[in-house]
Every structure is written in C-alpha cells, then in structure tokens.
Amino acid sequence: MSTGKTLLALLLTSLLPATAAFAAANNTLVYCSEASPESFNPQIASSGPTFVASSQTLYNRLVEFRPSDNLPVPSLATEWKISPDGKTYTFTLRKGVKFNSNKEFKPTRDFNADDVVFSVMRQKDPKHPYHNVSQANYEYFHDVGLDKLITEVKKLDDNHVQFTLSEPNAAFLADWGMDFASILSAEYADAMLKAGTPEKVDTAPIGTGPYALQEYKVDSLIRYVANPNYWNGEVPTKHLIFSITPNVQTRMAKLQKNECQIIPAPAPVQFEAIKANKDLQLHTVDGLNVGYLAFNTTKKPFDNVLVRQALNYAVDKQAIINAVFMGSGTVAKSPIPPTMMGFDKNLKDRSYDPEKAKALLKQAGLEKGFDTDLWSMPVQRPYNPNSRRVAEMIQADWAKVGVNAKIVTFEWGEYLSGMRKGEHSSALFGWMSDNGDPDNFADTLLGCGSIESGSNAARWCDKQYDALTQKAKLTSDPAVRAKLYEQAQEVFYEQAPWIALANGKTFYATRSNVTGYSVSLNGSDFSKAKLN
C-alpha cells in the first residue's frame, strides 16, 4: 500500500497565498484534516482521512446513500435492474458527466461504461496492467469478497454496464456506494500507461467529483479547486484547502482562530468550549460504528475461549464510556450497531465481574495471570476518541486479575499493516459502516475469509458463525437475514473473539458561518459547503 510519505507532491505553476490568509475569503474553505492521505486513489487505501481527501472530494460512485435511511440511490448510475435469480445487475449510466483535467491530461469524452469496467478490473484482475501499480492490494475490494463474487463485468454500450455474480448477494448494490468503488478515468489511465507513468493515476488523480486536486504538500496541506462542470450542480466554494493537523488540540486552536472553518472529531473534553463560543458550532451524527478490542485468537493464550471470556468480564466498559466518551457513546455488546438491521436487542453482555474473570483464568490454567501486549491506535475516532486512555483503563482492569498488559502504539499506517499481518496479541480497533448493510460488519470484521485480507483483526474463524453470515448474504428477505445475524451474534457472545466496547456518535465542529457541509454514511460532503 502507498503511504502519505511516498506520495508525489503535486506542485502549482504559481504560488498561492498561505492557508491562514485564505481563512477570511468567502470563496475558500479550510478543513483541518487528521492525517496525510495514504493515496489519492481510494481503491488502494483504507483510512478515513484518505477517503475524505480522495473519494469524498475528487470522485463519485455508481450509487450514494440517502441520509434519511442509508439506502442506495442513484449517483453515476441513474437506475439498475436485477435479474430474477439475483445474479445479474445492469446499470444505466448518467449521461453528460465530465471528468476533471490536469496539466498533463485533458479528457476527450464524458464518463461512460469503459470507466466502470476499468475501475472494477484493475482491482479484480491480477493480470490487469494497473493491478500492481503503486504496490496496490485493494483491501476493501477483497474484504467484501467482490474478487470472488464478480465473475464478469462488461460494457453493453457507452451508457450500460452489466455485472454477473457467482451467487446472489444482498449487499452487492450497497457495495457500489463505498469509497473503494469510486470511478476512475480509463482514458486517463491509458494515457499515463502510454507515457510510462501509470502511478500518476494514483498521485495526480482525475475524477468526476466536486473538486479537482491542485497541490499536495506531504504532512502539510492539500489544495483543491472546484470542478466548473460538476454534474450535480455548481460548487459554491471555489477553493478548498486541507490543513493537515494530526493533533486534536491544535485543530481546536486553529478553529478558534479561524485558520480553519471545519474540524473532524473534536475531543469530548472540547465540547463545552465549542458550545460556549458563539462563533463555533458543534454537530453530531448518529454513527453506524463499533469500537472494540480484538484478541488475536491464533496466539496463546487468546486461542483459549476461557481466557477471552475472562478478559471480557475483567473490563469495566461503563467506566470507559463515562470517562472517555463523556456522552458521545454507549456500551457495545455486538459487532453489529444497535440501529442496524439484524442487531439482536436480546443479546447478552458480560457484566464487569473481576472475580468471575479470575475463576475463568484459573480454569484455563492461568491462575497467576500472564504478560501480553495491548495495541493502542494513534488516531481518534467516533468509536474511540482517546485510544490511549481506553488502553490505560483496560490495562488497569486487567492488572486486577493478574494480567500484565504492555501498551504499544505505532504510526497509523504501521499500526494497520502490523495488525493485518497478525503481529498483535490484542489491539484496539473499530469500524464505521461503509454501506449501511450488516454484512459490512458481521462478515467483513469476523468472517473466515476476512483473515487473509486483514480486516478480521481477531483472526477468528468459527465455522458455525461463518455459515450463518454467508447464508445471510444469499438471502434477500430482510426478516430472514435479521434472524440469521441474530444467531451469529449468539455465537460471537459465546466465543468472545472481541471485547465489544462502544458505539460512538460522529462529531464535528465548524465556524458558525459555515453552511451546506454535511457528514453522513457517504462521508464528508463539501459540494454544497460555503461561508456566509
């Protein structure tokens, strides 16, 4: 996977004013982002800051999600037909959609079916000329099983593209609203391949989205300019700047000084200060997410279900919610968020019971405890706004039952890479819904097939659980699907591959004169944002 450190800096032909100088201009909006992007191609990335900087700014997908109910609605596809057997999807594509341009490429045609086929086959076909460009591994495409599910994608004509599946899949349509499903320009890819610079497709991106990339300075800033031909209406703010600001306190200070007008993920301890400032506004969105601690079930002693159950009993989850989330989250008990179809409201949860934990450890032959590592994320997320503090509280709770946990952390890219390889013994992680479907949690995070792709941080493969979730994917009846997921959650409870910790709300803050910006299942939408 490419990292922010290895991306090519895209230089402007002339210098633009500094970020702070832009703050007062009505045609410029500054967003304080959390991190540098891994890439400007969301197909080969997996982090939230990358998606905000690429797919949610530069690209579109075949469908998007309606905010009111998170159901797929038209975007680059205007309609679709599904065959009676559920194995063929035919999309009608939107006409007149323009790609952006840059100094090396000017498109000669509108978006069409060739672009969809290219965007799919680059990820699916190991022999595709772009498959290995930028050392790409297409984690999301593989995580949701599309490499095996899609048997063919073909252009019927410029305005129609058809997918053939190996089996019915109830989540397939929603998958095409996810960030990795962004549509790239096949014409641009051909031009860069002929020029001998195919990696520019990923570092100097061309999309159909509301903005075009103008400049990138690693770990500093990203400049965008509005797409003058955006198919979904005029973009009201001409210049968009990402001021890359990893520190949450620094982001808050920049917001207060009007050096940026939007910040993601303010810390809960900052909420009152934001509310008390007439020039600022705090916004909240009910999130489809879960924060958890994953046990690496392939490593001792976490291969023993008694140990996993014991350490579930050993953690005071409510205390973590009270101390860390401060009203921004609730205790989780399932891999599926409570507002999502298939959540088992009757699912049991393990109460905080250190004595029960000690008894189970004794039964497992570990009465004297053991030493382990506990990985802590270096970033803030709605499902875990302060990973270090959560890790410290878990460490203290485990110490009470004789388990000595050493907290370790790494740079975000290294953290993700090490966890996908199974280098951890236990690790804090989480997930935010990409497509509003329970399969995006139940199978993506805990399915047997997700071990190799790396999204199953517990590296847990339970045949009963897997059979239930795979059957649910083949079922179109929502009531039947929900029942299957409920049964799978019972297996999850008994086998305890995680400690499910929290379901968090998504918070962001803006200057009071910002309107039109929104956050939803589609991610961050800057296309209507403006300063008044």
102-130 per-position pLDDT tens digit: 999 999 999 999 999 999 999 999 999 99
Backbone angles phi, psi at 14, to 5 degrees: -140, 150
Indicate the CATH number of 289-505 among 3.10.105.10, 3.40.50.720, 3.30.200.20, 3.20.20.10: 3.10.105.10
- Taking CA atoms, 78 is separated from 156, 182, 240, in Å, by 16, 16, 28
Task: Identify the pLDDT of residue 25.
Answer: 61
> Mean pLDDT, to the nearest integer, of 231-254?
96
DSSP letter (8 states) at residue 297: T
What would the mean pLDDT of 353-378 be, rounded to a whole number? 97
Q: At what angle do helices 439-446 and 463-473 cross, to 10 degrees?
A: 150
Mean pLDDT within 429-445: 90
Of 105-114, 288-297, 427-436, which range is least confident? Answer: 427-436
The answer on pLDDT for 16 being more than 50 is no
CA neighbor of 53 nearest in space, from 236, 219, 238? 219
Kindly tell me the sign of the dihedral angle through the C-alpha atoms of 241, 243, 248, 250: negative
**What superfamily in CATH does domain 26-261+513-531 come from?**
Dipeptide-binding Protein; Domain 1 (3.90.76.10)
The two domains 26-261+513-531 and 289-505 share their CATH topology (first three levels equal)? no
All residues at 6 or more sequence positions from 68 whose CB lies less than 8 Å from its CB, including other chains: none
**Other C-beta atoms within 10 Å of 151: how many?**
12
| pLDDT tens figures, 376-422 | 999 888 899 999 999 999 999 999 999 999 999 999 889 999 999 99
Query: In 158-277, at which residue ranges do the beta strands (DSSP E only) sit?
Result: 160-165, 211-217, 221-226, 239-244, 262-264
* C-alpha separations of 331 from 114, 152, 320, 387, 428 in Å: 46, 43, 9, 15, 15
Residue-wise pLDDT for 438-459, tens only, equals 998 999 999 998 998 789 999 9
What local confidence, expressed as pLDDT, does residue 4 receive? Answer: 39
CA geometry: angle at 424 spanning 423 and 429, to 5°? 120
Domain ranges of the chain: 26-261+513-531, 289-505
Output the CA–CA distances (angstroms, integers) from residue 437 to 59, 65, 124, 285, in the order listed: 22, 11, 22, 18
Question: pLDDT tens digits for 35-53?
Answer: 999 999 999 987 889 999 9
CA dist 181 and 158 (Å) reads 19
Encode 99-119 in three state secondary structure: CCCECCECCCCCCCHHHHHHH
Q: Are strands 211-217 and 403-408 parallel, antiparallel or unpaired?
A: unpaired
Q: Are 255 and 280 in contact (CB under 8 A)?
A: yes
Residue 299 DSSP label: S
Cβ-proximal residues to 259 (8 Å cutoff; 6+ apart), any chain: 19, 20, 23, 30, 32, 243
Crossing angle of helices 478-495 and 305-313, rounded to 10°: 90
Q: Return the closest-CA partner of residue 66 out of 526, 527, 522, 529.
A: 522
Q: Compute and round to an integer the Cα radius of gyration of the chain.
A: 23
pLDDT at 143: 77
What is the average pLDDT score of the chain? 92
Q: Check pLDDT > 70 for residue 31.
A: yes
3-state SS class at 57: helix
| pLDDT value of residue 17 | 39
CA distance 245 to 477: 45
